[in-house]
Amino acid sequence: MAEREGRRLLRLVQEGRLELLRAELRPEDIPEARSWRWGRLGDTLVHHAARLGHRDVLEFLLRELGMDLEAANGDYKRPLHEAASMGHGQCVSFLLDSGASVDCLKKGDWTPLMMACTRRNLQVIRSLVEHGANPLLRNKDGWNCFHIASREGHPEVLRYLLDVSPGIWDTESTVRRTPLHTAAMHGCSQVVELLLERCHYQPDSRDRCGVTPFMDAIQNGHLDIARMLLEKHQACPTAMDALGAQALHRAAVTAQDGSIQFLVSELGVDVNARATSLQIPALHYAAKEGHAHTIQTLLALGADIQAKDGKGRSALHAAVAGQRAGAVRLLLRAGLRDGADGSGTLAWQLARKPQVIQAFQESQGTT
Protein backbone atom coordinates (compact mmCIF):
# COMPACT_ATOMS: atom_id res chain seq x y z
CA MET A 1 0.00 0.00 0.00
CA ALA A 2 1.25 3.47 -0.85
CA GLU A 3 2.61 5.51 2.02
CA ARG A 4 0.09 8.24 1.32
CA GLU A 5 -2.84 5.87 1.62
CA GLY A 6 -1.37 4.34 4.76
CA ARG A 7 -1.16 7.75 6.37
CA ARG A 8 -4.77 8.43 5.48
CA LEU A 9 -5.81 5.25 7.26
CA LEU A 10 -3.71 6.24 10.28
CA ARG A 11 -5.52 9.58 10.36
CA LEU A 12 -8.88 7.83 10.27
CA VAL A 13 -7.82 5.71 13.26
CA GLN A 14 -6.63 8.79 15.14
CA GLU A 15 -9.90 10.61 14.43
CA GLY A 16 -11.99 7.58 15.38
CA ARG A 17 -13.81 7.47 12.02
CA LEU A 18 -14.75 3.82 12.09
CA GLU A 19 -17.12 3.65 9.12
CA LEU A 20 -14.66 5.28 6.72
CA LEU A 21 -11.89 3.10 8.10
CA ARG A 22 -13.95 -0.06 7.58
CA ALA A 23 -14.73 1.02 4.02
CA GLU A 24 -11.16 1.90 3.09
CA LEU A 25 -9.16 -0.80 4.89
CA ARG A 26 -9.93 -3.58 2.43
CA PRO A 27 -9.45 -7.33 3.07
CA GLU A 28 -6.46 -7.46 0.74
CA ASP A 29 -4.75 -4.78 2.85
CA ILE A 30 -5.02 -6.66 6.12
CA PRO A 31 -1.74 -8.65 6.05
CA GLU A 32 0.16 -5.49 5.25
CA ALA A 33 -1.74 -3.38 7.78
CA ARG A 34 -0.73 -5.68 10.63
CA SER A 35 2.90 -4.73 10.14
CA TRP A 36 2.47 -0.96 9.72
CA ARG A 37 4.47 1.13 12.17
CA TRP A 38 4.61 4.89 12.63
CA GLY A 39 6.86 7.35 14.40
CA ARG A 40 10.17 7.04 16.18
CA LEU A 41 8.86 4.31 18.48
CA GLY A 42 7.05 2.31 15.84
CA ASP A 43 3.46 2.53 17.08
CA THR A 44 0.85 0.30 15.44
CA LEU A 45 -2.70 1.28 14.57
CA VAL A 46 -3.77 -0.48 17.76
CA HIS A 47 -1.45 1.74 19.84
CA HIS A 48 -2.99 4.85 18.29
CA ALA A 49 -6.58 3.70 18.84
CA ALA A 50 -5.86 2.80 22.48
CA ARG A 51 -4.01 6.03 23.20
CA LEU A 52 -6.83 8.17 21.82
CA GLY A 53 -9.62 6.19 23.45
CA HIS A 54 -11.43 4.94 20.35
CA ARG A 55 -12.89 1.71 21.70
CA ASP A 56 -14.96 0.90 18.60
CA VAL A 57 -11.92 1.31 16.36
CA LEU A 58 -9.91 -0.81 18.76
CA GLU A 59 -12.50 -3.59 18.55
CA PHE A 60 -12.51 -3.39 14.75
CA LEU A 61 -8.71 -3.65 14.55
CA LEU A 62 -8.46 -6.54 16.97
CA ARG A 63 -11.56 -8.62 16.30
CA GLU A 64 -12.26 -7.98 12.63
CA LEU A 65 -8.71 -7.53 11.36
CA GLY A 66 -6.96 -9.76 13.86
CA MET A 67 -4.22 -7.29 14.77
CA ASP A 68 -1.87 -8.05 17.64
CA LEU A 69 -3.27 -7.32 21.08
CA GLU A 70 0.22 -7.46 22.59
CA ALA A 71 2.14 -5.51 19.92
CA ALA A 72 5.04 -3.64 21.57
CA ASN A 73 6.58 -0.43 20.30
CA GLY A 74 10.20 0.66 20.71
CA ASP A 75 9.63 1.42 24.39
CA TYR A 76 7.94 -1.97 24.84
CA LYS A 77 4.61 -0.23 25.44
CA ARG A 78 1.58 -2.36 24.71
CA PRO A 79 -1.85 -0.98 23.77
CA LEU A 80 -2.90 -1.55 27.40
CA HIS A 81 -0.13 0.81 28.57
CA GLU A 82 -1.44 3.46 26.19
CA ALA A 83 -5.08 3.18 27.26
CA ALA A 84 -4.20 3.04 30.97
CA SER A 85 -1.82 6.01 30.82
CA MET A 86 -4.48 8.17 29.17
CA GLY A 87 -7.29 7.06 31.48
CA HIS A 88 -9.50 5.52 28.80
CA GLY A 89 -11.62 3.18 30.92
CA GLN A 90 -13.63 1.57 28.13
CA CYS A 91 -10.50 0.74 26.15
CA VAL A 92 -8.79 -0.66 29.23
CA SER A 93 -11.77 -2.89 30.01
CA PHE A 94 -12.05 -4.07 26.42
CA LEU A 95 -8.34 -4.93 26.21
CA LEU A 96 -8.44 -6.80 29.51
CA ASP A 97 -11.58 -8.69 28.53
CA SER A 98 -9.84 -9.57 25.25
CA GLY A 99 -6.98 -11.20 27.15
CA ALA A 100 -4.34 -8.47 27.39
CA SER A 101 -1.53 -9.24 29.85
CA VAL A 102 -2.38 -7.10 32.86
CA ASP A 103 1.17 -6.77 34.23
CA CYS A 104 3.07 -6.37 30.96
CA LEU A 105 6.20 -4.23 31.27
CA LYS A 106 7.27 -1.29 29.19
CA LYS A 107 10.72 0.31 29.22
CA GLY A 108 11.79 1.04 32.79
CA ASP A 109 9.61 -1.83 34.07
CA TRP A 110 6.43 0.25 34.20
CA THR A 111 3.17 -1.72 34.35
CA PRO A 112 -0.19 -0.47 33.05
CA LEU A 113 -1.27 0.01 36.68
CA MET A 114 1.70 2.31 37.31
CA MET A 115 0.80 4.27 34.18
CA ALA A 116 -2.81 4.51 35.34
CA CYS A 117 -1.69 5.90 38.71
CA THR A 118 -0.23 8.95 36.98
CA ARG A 119 -3.87 9.99 36.53
CA ARG A 120 -6.83 10.39 38.85
CA ASN A 121 -9.08 7.87 37.08
CA LEU A 122 -10.03 5.43 39.81
CA GLN A 123 -12.24 3.43 37.44
CA VAL A 124 -9.22 2.44 35.34
CA ILE A 125 -7.13 1.57 38.39
CA ARG A 126 -9.94 -0.50 39.88
CA SER A 127 -10.44 -2.35 36.57
CA LEU A 128 -6.75 -3.27 36.38
CA VAL A 129 -6.62 -4.48 39.99
CA GLU A 130 -9.83 -6.50 39.61
CA HIS A 131 -8.26 -8.19 36.57
CA GLY A 132 -5.29 -9.25 38.68
CA ALA A 133 -2.78 -6.40 38.41
CA ASN A 134 -0.16 -6.68 41.15
CA PRO A 135 0.07 -3.34 43.03
CA LEU A 136 3.36 -4.34 44.69
CA LEU A 137 5.42 -4.59 41.50
CA ARG A 138 8.23 -2.03 41.30
CA ASN A 139 9.82 -0.31 38.32
CA LYS A 140 13.56 0.05 37.72
CA ASP A 141 13.70 3.02 40.12
CA GLY A 142 12.05 0.97 42.85
CA TRP A 143 8.71 2.78 42.69
CA ASN A 144 5.45 0.89 42.99
CA CYS A 145 2.06 2.31 41.97
CA PHE A 146 1.50 3.74 45.48
CA HIS A 147 4.69 5.76 45.19
CA ILE A 148 3.58 7.09 41.81
CA ALA A 149 0.12 8.09 43.07
CA SER A 150 1.80 9.87 46.00
CA ARG A 151 3.81 11.98 43.58
CA GLU A 152 0.73 12.86 41.55
CA GLY A 153 -1.25 13.91 44.64
CA HIS A 154 -4.22 11.54 44.34
CA PRO A 155 -5.52 10.76 47.87
CA GLU A 156 -8.57 8.86 46.60
CA VAL A 157 -6.32 6.54 44.58
CA LEU A 158 -4.08 6.01 47.61
CA ARG A 159 -7.05 5.16 49.81
CA TYR A 160 -8.18 2.53 47.32
CA LEU A 161 -4.68 1.03 47.06
CA LEU A 162 -4.40 0.87 50.85
CA ASP A 163 -7.77 -0.89 51.00
CA VAL A 164 -6.78 -3.58 48.48
CA SER A 165 -3.15 -3.87 49.65
CA PRO A 166 -2.74 -2.60 53.25
CA GLY A 167 1.05 -3.00 53.29
CA ILE A 168 1.68 -1.20 50.01
CA TRP A 169 2.84 1.99 51.78
CA ASP A 170 5.91 0.23 53.18
CA THR A 171 8.14 0.74 50.18
CA GLU A 172 11.33 2.59 49.27
CA SER A 173 12.83 3.51 45.93
CA THR A 174 16.29 2.36 44.95
CA VAL A 175 17.65 5.50 46.66
CA ARG A 176 15.53 4.79 49.76
CA ARG A 177 12.92 7.48 49.19
CA THR A 178 9.49 6.73 50.61
CA PRO A 179 6.11 7.91 49.27
CA LEU A 180 6.13 10.40 52.17
CA HIS A 181 9.36 11.94 50.82
CA THR A 182 7.83 12.18 47.38
CA ALA A 183 4.54 13.73 48.50
CA ALA A 184 6.37 16.26 50.69
CA MET A 185 8.73 17.21 47.88
CA HIS A 186 5.90 17.79 45.39
CA GLY A 187 3.70 19.75 47.78
CA CYS A 188 0.87 17.20 47.95
CA SER A 189 -0.52 18.25 51.32
CA GLN A 190 -3.66 16.08 51.21
CA VAL A 191 -1.51 13.05 50.45
CA VAL A 192 0.92 13.84 53.26
CA GLU A 193 -2.00 14.13 55.67
CA LEU A 194 -3.36 10.77 54.51
CA LEU A 195 0.03 9.07 54.77
CA LEU A 196 0.52 10.35 58.30
CA GLU A 197 -2.95 9.09 59.29
CA ARG A 198 -2.91 5.63 57.72
CA CYS A 199 0.73 4.64 57.31
CA HIS A 200 3.55 4.10 59.76
CA TYR A 201 6.59 5.94 58.47
CA GLN A 202 9.32 6.60 60.98
CA PRO A 203 9.82 10.29 61.85
CA ASP A 204 12.74 11.75 59.91
CA SER A 205 13.19 8.67 57.74
CA ARG A 206 16.18 9.32 55.49
CA ASP A 207 16.88 8.56 51.87
CA ARG A 208 20.32 7.51 50.67
CA CYS A 209 21.51 11.15 50.86
CA GLY A 210 20.16 11.52 54.38
CA VAL A 211 17.30 13.78 53.27
CA THR A 212 14.15 13.70 55.40
CA PRO A 213 10.58 14.50 54.27
CA PHE A 214 10.80 17.71 56.32
CA MET A 215 13.90 18.77 54.37
CA ASP A 216 12.09 18.01 51.13
CA ALA A 217 9.17 20.22 52.15
CA ILE A 218 11.40 23.06 53.34
CA GLN A 219 13.74 23.17 50.34
CA ASN A 220 10.74 23.28 48.01
CA GLY A 221 8.87 25.94 49.96
CA HIS A 222 5.95 23.80 51.14
CA LEU A 223 5.52 25.30 54.59
CA ASP A 224 2.06 23.84 55.17
CA ILE A 225 3.57 20.38 54.83
CA ALA A 226 6.58 21.30 56.97
CA ARG A 227 4.22 22.39 59.76
CA MET A 228 2.20 19.20 59.40
CA LEU A 229 5.33 17.07 59.71
CA LEU A 230 6.37 18.98 62.82
CA GLU A 231 2.96 18.74 64.49
CA LYS A 232 1.86 15.25 63.48
CA HIS A 233 5.14 13.42 62.89
CA GLN A 234 7.57 15.01 65.33
CA ALA A 235 10.00 15.94 62.56
CA CYS A 236 13.28 17.45 63.71
CA PRO A 237 13.95 20.86 62.08
CA THR A 238 17.70 20.60 62.69
CA ALA A 239 18.20 17.03 61.44
CA MET A 240 21.25 16.69 59.20
CA ASP A 241 21.62 14.97 55.87
CA ALA A 242 24.49 12.64 54.98
CA LEU A 243 26.84 15.61 54.47
CA GLY A 244 25.83 17.36 57.67
CA ALA A 245 23.57 20.00 56.11
CA GLN A 246 20.32 21.03 57.80
CA ALA A 247 17.06 22.10 56.19
CA LEU A 248 18.30 25.69 56.61
CA HIS A 249 21.26 25.10 54.32
CA ARG A 250 19.21 23.26 51.75
CA ALA A 251 16.70 26.14 51.71
CA ALA A 252 19.57 28.57 51.12
CA VAL A 253 20.64 26.55 48.08
CA THR A 254 17.12 26.59 46.59
CA ALA A 255 16.44 30.24 47.52
CA GLN A 256 13.40 29.47 49.68
CA ASP A 257 13.36 32.69 51.68
CA GLY A 258 10.00 31.91 53.28
CA SER A 259 11.34 28.61 54.55
CA ILE A 260 14.40 30.34 55.98
CA GLN A 261 12.20 32.90 57.75
CA PHE A 262 10.07 30.07 59.16
CA LEU A 263 13.06 28.08 60.43
CA VAL A 264 14.85 30.99 62.05
CA SER A 265 12.02 33.24 63.24
CA GLU A 266 9.41 30.65 64.22
CA LEU A 267 11.45 27.57 65.10
CA GLY A 268 14.55 29.26 66.48
CA VAL A 269 17.02 27.53 64.17
CA ASP A 270 20.47 29.14 64.37
CA VAL A 271 20.93 31.22 61.22
CA ASN A 272 24.70 30.76 61.57
CA ALA A 273 24.59 26.98 61.95
CA ARG A 274 27.41 25.23 60.08
CA ALA A 275 27.09 22.37 57.58
CA THR A 276 29.40 19.53 56.56
CA SER A 277 32.92 18.88 57.78
CA LEU A 278 33.89 22.18 56.09
CA GLN A 279 31.72 24.13 58.53
CA ILE A 280 29.86 26.07 55.84
CA PRO A 281 27.23 28.65 56.91
CA ALA A 282 23.96 29.04 55.02
CA LEU A 283 25.12 32.47 53.82
CA HIS A 284 27.92 30.81 51.84
CA TYR A 285 25.47 28.47 50.10
CA ALA A 286 23.24 31.35 49.04
CA ALA A 287 26.27 33.34 47.87
CA LYS A 288 27.67 30.48 45.78
CA GLU A 289 24.29 30.03 44.04
CA GLY A 290 24.00 33.77 43.47
CA HIS A 291 20.71 34.17 45.35
CA ALA A 292 20.97 37.87 46.18
CA HIS A 293 17.55 38.11 47.82
CA THR A 294 18.30 35.08 49.99
CA ILE A 295 21.57 36.68 51.06
CA GLN A 296 19.59 39.75 52.14
CA THR A 297 17.10 37.56 54.02
CA LEU A 298 19.86 35.75 55.90
CA LEU A 299 21.62 39.00 56.77
CA ALA A 300 18.35 40.51 58.02
CA LEU A 301 17.89 37.45 60.24
CA GLY A 302 21.31 37.95 61.80
CA ALA A 303 23.68 35.94 59.60
CA ASP A 304 27.30 36.88 60.31
CA ILE A 305 28.62 38.50 57.16
CA GLN A 306 32.20 38.06 58.39
CA ALA A 307 31.83 34.32 59.04
CA LYS A 308 34.32 32.00 57.38
CA ASP A 309 34.09 28.30 56.67
CA GLY A 310 36.54 25.63 57.75
CA LYS A 311 39.01 26.67 55.05
CA GLY A 312 38.90 30.32 56.03
CA ARG A 313 36.72 31.34 53.06
CA SER A 314 34.15 34.10 53.36
CA ALA A 315 30.79 34.33 51.63
CA LEU A 316 32.54 36.59 49.11
CA HIS A 317 34.87 33.74 48.19
CA ALA A 318 31.83 31.52 47.71
CA ALA A 319 30.12 34.07 45.47
CA VAL A 320 33.23 34.51 43.32
CA ALA A 321 33.80 30.75 43.13
CA GLY A 322 30.31 30.52 41.62
CA GLN A 323 31.07 33.55 39.39
CA ARG A 324 27.98 35.34 40.74
CA ALA A 325 28.41 39.04 40.01
CA GLY A 326 25.16 40.15 41.66
CA ALA A 327 26.00 38.38 44.90
CA VAL A 328 29.53 39.83 44.84
CA ARG A 329 28.16 43.37 44.49
CA LEU A 330 25.66 42.85 47.31
CA LEU A 331 28.24 41.46 49.72
CA LEU A 332 30.76 44.20 48.96
CA ARG A 333 28.09 46.88 49.46
CA ALA A 334 27.07 45.21 52.73
CA GLY A 335 30.59 45.74 54.01
CA LEU A 336 32.35 42.43 53.36
CA ARG A 337 35.93 43.11 52.36
CA ASP A 338 38.12 41.18 49.97
CA GLY A 339 40.12 39.31 52.58
CA ALA A 340 42.27 36.25 52.01
CA ASP A 341 41.11 32.72 52.77
CA GLY A 342 43.09 30.17 54.72
CA SER A 343 45.47 29.61 51.81
CA GLY A 344 46.07 33.33 51.29
CA THR A 345 43.89 33.60 48.18
CA LEU A 346 42.01 36.86 47.81
CA ALA A 347 38.46 36.56 46.56
CA TRP A 348 39.05 38.73 43.49
CA GLN A 349 41.80 36.35 42.37
CA LEU A 350 39.10 33.74 41.74
CA ALA A 351 37.17 36.04 39.39
CA ARG A 352 36.90 34.83 35.80
CA LYS A 353 33.79 36.38 34.33
CA PRO A 354 34.06 40.03 33.22
CA GLN A 355 30.97 40.94 35.24
CA VAL A 356 32.56 39.62 38.43
CA ILE A 357 35.82 41.46 37.76
CA GLN A 358 33.83 44.62 37.09
CA ALA A 359 32.01 44.23 40.42
CA PHE A 360 35.35 44.38 42.25
CA GLN A 361 36.53 47.29 40.18
CA GLU A 362 33.35 49.21 40.98
CA SER A 363 33.83 48.61 44.70
CA GLN A 364 37.35 50.06 44.43
CA GLY A 365 36.24 53.00 42.29
CA THR A 366 38.51 52.01 39.41
CA THR A 367 35.93 51.99 36.60
Q: Are 71 and 38 in contact (CB under 8 A)?
A: no
Q: Identify whether 174 is part of a domain.
A: no
Q: Per the structure, how many domains does the chain have?
A: 1
Q: Is residue 203 part of a domain?
A: no
Angle at 253 between CA 300 and CA 190, to 5 degrees: 95
Q: Give me the pLDDT at residue 61, please.
A: 93
Task: Tell the burial category of 245 from Cβ atoms under 10 Å away from its Cβ (0-12, 13-18, 19+).
Answer: buried
Contact present, 10 and 48 (Cβ < 8 Å): yes
Domain assignment present for residue 234? The answer is no
The parent domain of residue 132 ranges over: 1-169
Is 44 contained in some domain?
Answer: yes
Domain holding 63: CATH number?
1.25.40.20
In a domain, 240, yes or no: no
Beta-bridged to residue 275, according to DSSP, are 280
The answer as to whether 56 is a domain residue is: yes
Which pLDDT score, from 0 to 100, does residue 24 have?
A: 85
Which pLDDT score, from 0 to 100, does residue 364 have?
78
Distance in angstroms (rounded) separating the CA atoms of residues 108 and 141: 8
Mean pLDDT in order along the chain per 10 residues (367 residues) = 74 94 78 82 95 97 92 96 97 98 97 96 97 98 97 97 98 98 98 98 96 98 98 98 97 98 98 96 98 98 97 95 94 91 90 91 72
- Kindly report whether the global pTM for this prediction surpasses the value 0.75: yes
Q: Is residue 76 part of a domain?
A: yes
Asked whether residue 34 is domain-assigned, the answer is yes
